Amino acid sequence: MEFPLDTEDKRNSGMEITRAGRRRWWVLFFAMFLAGLLAYTGWIFSGRRATGQAPPSPPSVPVVAVAAKQGDVNIYITGLGTVTALYTVTVHTRVNGEIMKVLFKEGDIVKKGSLLVQIDPRPYAAAVLQAEGQLARDKALLEEAKVDLKRYDILAKQDSIALQIRDDQMYLVHQYEGTVKLDQGNLDAAKLNLFYTRITSPFTGRIGLRLVDPGNIVQTTDTNGIAVITREQPITVIFPIPEDNLQSVLKKLKAGESLQVEAFDREQTRKIATGHLLTADNQIDTTTGTDRLKALFTNEDSALFPNQFVNARLLMDTLRGVTVVPTAAVQRSPKGTYVYMVKEDQTVTVGWVKLGPSEGDSVSIEEGLSPGELVVVEGAEKLREGSKVEVQKQGPDSSTKGNG
């Protein structure tokens, strides 16, 4: 017995039929799209196989490479140094008085013995005159006493006078002789004070800013002085080195070796002067674990100035005939240091290397590289093992290896 469907049941049955039809259409559409994609891909590969074409290779990476070369590398001990004048003196007055003349120009090179300042000499010239007068008077008294002594000596031999009178006269002569010596000393002191009114340079050097002016009264107790003179030719540089390197330096000094020292600017890009090691300090600084070295420079061009900071480099040794590459060629990883070497087929390979001492922009290679092998110095950040490269530029010492 069949039961008729009501209106609601008919509506639900129609919706189910409609959803099922839509799913069939989506499945059919996806299957046709996938079949078309597979057919197109197969046609592409079958066409390339028919024409003998290979998939395109990745593009070459442009790089700059240079050839490792054989050269010498210097081994240095470096330290931040201070330029120190060989001699430094603050000129003081040795007598009191008024400054009459200042005869130097600030910043000039003054010669040894040249007159710097003239102090009023008149009081000291008067003192010299007084001392000369006192000396002349006492010399006359001495001569008179000596003449009387001769007379008394003759009379004493004739028993005309008592011996005591002759002896008293002899002692009077001795007193006058002592007085004359005292007068001579006073005269010499007065002349010396007169000489000190002319303040001269104790050595050849550069004089600084003047600290007094004409008309000022200067005294021996003044602490500032008149001016400061420094000797800059030659000049020294004092710089520290680690205590671990001290024994090797002392060994060379004791052997009489002349150790070269170079002074560079703050950026260590410009060499200012070249000198030699003079000596080492006699004790190690316990707070820093360093010892101070002193180097001597001729400084003929006045490039070094007192209290200037420089980077000092002490040449300890030179490695001859080692493999050298630019520092830019060396790459670093947790496994160690390596370089990218360019092969003849214009690909690169990783070469693990052992580094030696470096100098400037170059570093020596102890193991892993030979002179003439081409290494990448620019563009290495884009490379991997086996990467294809295009060498755009080579250094002047590069070989033709790797150019294809």
Virtual torsion, Cα 254, 255, 258, 264, nearest 10 deg: -60
Beta bridge partners of 261: 275, 314
Contact 104, 210 (CB under 8 A): yes
Does position 2 have pLDDT exceeding 50, yes or no?
A: no
Q: What is the mean pLDDT of residues 247-251?
A: 94
Q: Classify residue 234 as left (phi > 0), alpha (psi -120 to 50) or beta.
A: beta
Q: Which two tokens stand for residue 157?
A: 């031999």
Q: What is the mean pLDDT of residues 99-113?
A: 94
Does position 233 have pLDDT exceeding 60, yes or no?
A: yes
User: CA 16, CA 29: separation in Å to the nearest integer?
Assistant: 20
Contact 199, 119 (CB under 8 A): yes
326-385 pLDDT, tens digit each: 999 999 999 999 999 999 899 999 999 999 998 888 999 999 999 999 999 998 888 889
Give the pLDDT band (50/70/90) at residue 31: low
Cβ burial, residue 314 (10 Å; 0-12/13-18/19+): buried
At residue 401, what is the residue type? K
What are the start-end ranges of the H helices in 197-285? 246-254
Does position 125 have pLDDT exceeding 90, yes or no?
A: yes
Contact 365, 323 (CB under 8 A): yes
The pLDDT assigned to 41 comes to 58
Residue that is written with structure tokens 């008077």 in the block = 137
Pairing of strands 61-67, 97-102: unpaired
Rg of the chain in Å (alpha carbons): 49
Q: Measure Cα distances from 93 to 171, 202, 228 in Å.
A: 42, 13, 13
Which residue, 224, 199, 237, is CA-closest to 81? 237
The pLDDT assigned to 59 comes to 80
147-183 pLDDT, tens digit each: 999 999 999 888 888 899 999 999 999 999 999 999 9
Does position 94 have pLDDT exceeding 60, yes or no?
A: yes
Does position 28 have pLDDT exceeding 90, yes or no?
A: no
User: CA 327, CA 333: separation in Å to the nearest integer?
Assistant: 15
38-89 pLDDT, tens digit each: 666 565 555 544 444 555 667 888 999 999 999 999 999 999 999 999 999 9
Residue 346 CB: number of other CB atoms within 10 A? 15
In residues, how long is the chain? 404
Residue that is written with structure tokens 């410009």 in the block = 270
The pLDDT assigned to 159 comes to 87
User: CA 352, CA 189: separation in Å to the nearest integer?
Assistant: 82
Residues 6+ apart with CB under 8 A from 165: 152, 156
Average pLDDT of the residues of the chain? 87
Q: Which two tokens stand for residue 203?
A: 């050595």
The pLDDT assigned to 3 comes to 45
Q: Which two tokens stand for residue 356?
A: 């030696």
CA atoms within 13 A on the CB side of 123: 10
Q: Which residue has the higher pLDDT, 395 or 271?
A: 271
Q: Classify residue 75 as left (phi > 0), alpha (psi -120 to 50) or beta.
A: beta
CA atoms within 13 A on the CB side of 76: 17
Q: What is the side-by-side order of every strand in the sheet holding 198-200?
A: 198-200, 115-119, 97-102, 217-218
